[in-house]
């Protein structure tokens, strides 16, 4: 019998081969995805994600190698030494930990990435050949030095390219997708290409020496598929956990951004109202007083001129003075109107109920649109910020009715309902379309004002049947009639 008769020829279960490659790709994807979670977390949670990410990747890499090995069948019974199999997990864990540490760094450092690729590739190589050493069968294995070297070079080269791509396509959503596809493909390929190159480096011959079976176990094809299924489950759970953490972080960021925007809006609104109050007071107190004094003086001059006997000479002067008095009166009225629009004094002097009734009367007098006001309470306990918000929303509602509704009547009601101040404004105009309820800038501004003071604004209506706006604001105390 010659030496060629002693060589054992093996075969592959291609279903398990495909499963091993799938595990390699999913494990690589999980590694990159979990690296993002490590970057996004701090303190103890970052340590948790580092440990979890490295463990998930190590399990995926380890399971891929054993699934690939179990896909190979020799013509003799093959068992596996379980202590050696467990030992092979350590190089995988080391490679995974190094990969995570490098990937989460803010920028690429060539020397660090090169060294890391050696550790990652070396870890994969160490896993593979340690796992190969766990095989127990009636024979011997021999390795081709050239193919062993090639498998190690390939593992390190693919790891280097994967790390390089991770940094090259780091910025931007589109670039991130490209980076994930390329990095997952390369990192996954580093695992399975190295594995099957390493498998090709081995040849097997029969031996008369019985193997050491003291810690050996037999693994069937069904068990091999089970190992793969468990690995896929672990990786899927890791990805699901990562996705849930990402969604939670995004939701938290959205809530924070929303709160910041509302705080900014409230600050701007408060500053605008304070500036309006200041300007209104200056117009009313200074300019209004000056115009009033001017009118009184003109009236006194008119009285003096009226007492003069030479009527013919002074008639023209009197007419000019009367015109000046009229102009002054109209200007004074404009000043008062502008000051009232900047900051209606009814808000400070009368309160929200009387202020809204007064504004409705002014609107009816100016536009001819009938306003019917009903109030089911005597007093309402709103603070200054809430009172201002209610009045401004009411003003904006009347403005929208004038501009868009083509209404002839507006019904306004105020009441207490379940501890809330409720203001309802209904018109008999053209109604409102559904897209206008969410897209109108006027309504958006009104809703923002309501949100700032903890209230809620609802808009309802149908085309041809008018529109109803309901404002609800929680209050601490109301007194019903």
Provide the mean pLDDT of the chain.
Answer: 76
Q: For residues 375 and 469, is the Cβ–Cβ distance under 8 A?
A: no
User: What is the CB neighbour count within 10 angstroms for residue 94?
Assistant: 18
Under CATH, which architecture does the 351-480 domain have?
Answer: 2-Layer Sandwich (3.30)
Q: Is 90 exceeded by the pLDDT of residue 468?
A: yes
The pLDDT tens digits for 107-146 are: 656 777 787 788 888 888 888 888 888 888 888 888 899 9
Spatial separation of the C-alpha atoms in residues 102 and 85, rounded to whole Å: 27
DSSP classification of residue 406: -
Q: Which residue has the tokens 């379940």?
A: 418
The pLDDT score that the predictor gives to residue 254 is 72
The pLDDT score that the predictor gives to residue 419 is 83
The pLDDT score that the predictor gives to residue 413 is 94
Q: Which of 46-60, 75-89, 425-439 has the highest mean pLDDT?
A: 75-89
Q: Is 50 exceeded by the pLDDT of residue 22?
A: yes
Quickly state the pLDDT bin for 479 (edges 50, 70, 90): very low
The residue-averaged pLDDT of 141-164 equals 83
The residue-averaged pLDDT of 67-89 equals 85
Contacts of 23 (CB under 8 A, 6+ apart): 60, 63, 64, 67, 228, 231, 232, 235
The residue-averaged pLDDT of 295-316 equals 67
Quickly state the pLDDT bin for 480 (edges 50, 70, 90): very low
Q: Is 50 exceeded by the pLDDT of residue 175?
A: no
Better-scored residue on pLDDT, 64 or 183: 64
The pLDDT score that the predictor gives to residue 3 is 45
Q: For residues 38 and 49, is the Cβ–Cβ distance under 8 A?
A: yes
The pLDDT score that the predictor gives to residue 280 is 65
Lowest-pLDDT choice from 70-74, 250-254, 307-311? 307-311
Spatial separation of the C-alpha atoms in residues 410 and 412, rounded to whole Å: 6
DSSP classification of residue 463: T
Better-scored residue on pLDDT, 40 or 380: 380
Q: Is 50 exceeded by the pLDDT of residue 381?
A: yes
Lowest-pLDDT choice from 173-182, 228-237, 375-384, 396-405? 173-182
Q: Is 90 exceeded by the pLDDT of residue 213?
A: no
Nearest to 95 by CA among 68, 67, 130: 130
Q: Is 90 exceeded by the pLDDT of residue 371?
A: yes
Better-scored residue on pLDDT, 85 or 335: 85
The pLDDT score that the predictor gives to residue 478 is 42
Decide: residue 455, CB within 10 A, 0-12 exposed, 13-18 middle, 19+ buried. buried
The pLDDT score that the predictor gives to residue 272 is 66
The pLDDT score that the predictor gives to residue 425 is 94
The residue-averaged pLDDT of 274-296 equals 67
Q: For residues 343 and 325, is the Cβ–Cβ distance under 8 A?
A: no
The pLDDT tens digits for 417-427 are: 888 899 999 99
Nearest to 185 by CA among 385, 378, 29: 29
Per-residue tokens: 164: 């390089």
Q: CA angle 202-204-210, nearest 5°?
A: 130
Q: What CA–CA distances, in Å, run from 153 to 106, 190, 191, 353? A: 27, 10, 12, 83
DSSP classification of residue 465: S
Judged by DSSP in three states, 444 sits in: helix
Q: For residues 26 and 60, is the Cβ–Cβ distance under 8 A?
A: yes
β partners of residue 8:
204
Better-scored residue on pLDDT, 168 or 189: 189
Spatial separation of the C-alpha atoms in residues 188 and 124, rounded to whole Å: 11
Better-scored residue on pLDDT, 249 or 455: 455
Quickly state the pLDDT bin for 1 (edges 50, 70, 90): very low
Q: Is 80 exceeded by the pLDDT of residue 456?
A: yes
Spatial separation of the C-alpha atoms in residues 16 and 13, rounded to whole Å: 6
Q: Is 70 exceeded by the pLDDT of residue 392?
A: yes
């Amino acid at each position: 019998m010659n030496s060629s008769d002693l060589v054992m020829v093996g075969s592959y279960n291609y279903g398990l081969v495909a499963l091993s490659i799938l595990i390699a790709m999913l494990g690589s994807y999980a590694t990159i995805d979990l690296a993002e979670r490590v970057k996004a977390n701090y303190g103890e949670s970052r340590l948790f994600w580092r440990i979890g990410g490295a463990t998930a990747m190590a399990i995926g890499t380890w399971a891929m190698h054993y699934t690939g090995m179990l896909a190979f069948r020799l013509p003799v019974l093959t068992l596996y030494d379980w202590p050696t199999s467990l030992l092979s997990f350590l190089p995988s864990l080391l490679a995974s930990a190094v990969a995570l540490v490098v990937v989460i760094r803010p920028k690429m450092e060539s020397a660090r990435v090169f060294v890391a690729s050696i550790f990652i590739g070396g870890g994969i190589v160490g896993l593979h050949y340690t796992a190969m050493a766990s095989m127990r069968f009636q024979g011997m294995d021999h390795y081709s030095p050239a193919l062993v070297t090639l498998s190690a070079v390939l593992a390190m080269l693919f790891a280097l390219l994967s790390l390089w791509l991770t940094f090259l396509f780091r910025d931007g959503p589109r670039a991130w997708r490209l980076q994930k596809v390329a990095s997952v493909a390369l990192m996954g390929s580093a695992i399975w290409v190295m594995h099957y190159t390493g498998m090709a480096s081995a040849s097997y011959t029969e031996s008369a020496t019985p193997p050491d079976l003291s810690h050996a176990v037999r693994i069937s094809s069904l068990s091999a598929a089970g190992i793969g299924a468990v690995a896929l489950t672990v990786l899927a759970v890791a990805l699901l956990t990562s996705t849930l953490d990402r969604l939670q972080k995004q939701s938290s960021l959205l809530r924070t951004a929303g709160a910041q925007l509302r705080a900014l809006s409230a600050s701007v609104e408060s500053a605008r109202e304070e500036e309006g109050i200041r300007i209104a007071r200056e117009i009313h107190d200074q300019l209004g007083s000056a115009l009033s004094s001017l009118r009184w003086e003109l009236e006194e001059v008119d009285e003096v001129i009226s007492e003069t006997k030479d009527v013919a000479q002074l008639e023209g002067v009197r007419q000019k003075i009367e015109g000046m008095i009229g102009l002054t009166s109209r200007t004074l009225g404009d000043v008062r109107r502008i000051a009232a629009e900047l900051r209606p004094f009814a808000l400070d002097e009368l309160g929200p109920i009387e202020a809204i009734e007064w504004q409705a009367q002014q609107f009816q007098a100016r536009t001819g649109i009938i306003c019917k006001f009903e109030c089911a309470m005597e007093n309402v306990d709103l603070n200054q910020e809430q009172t201002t918000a209610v009045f401004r929303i009411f003003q904006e509602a009347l403005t929208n009715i004038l501009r868009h509704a083509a209404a002839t009547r507006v019904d306004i009601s105020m009441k207490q309902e379940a501890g809330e101040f409720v203001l309802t404004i209904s018109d008999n105009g053209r109604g409102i379309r559904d897209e206008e309820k969410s897209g109108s800038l006027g309504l958006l501004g009104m809703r923002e004002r309501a949100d700032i003071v903890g209230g809620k604004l609802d808009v309802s209506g149908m085309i041809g049947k008018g529109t109803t706006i309901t404002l609800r604001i929680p209050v601490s105390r109301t007194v019903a009639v």
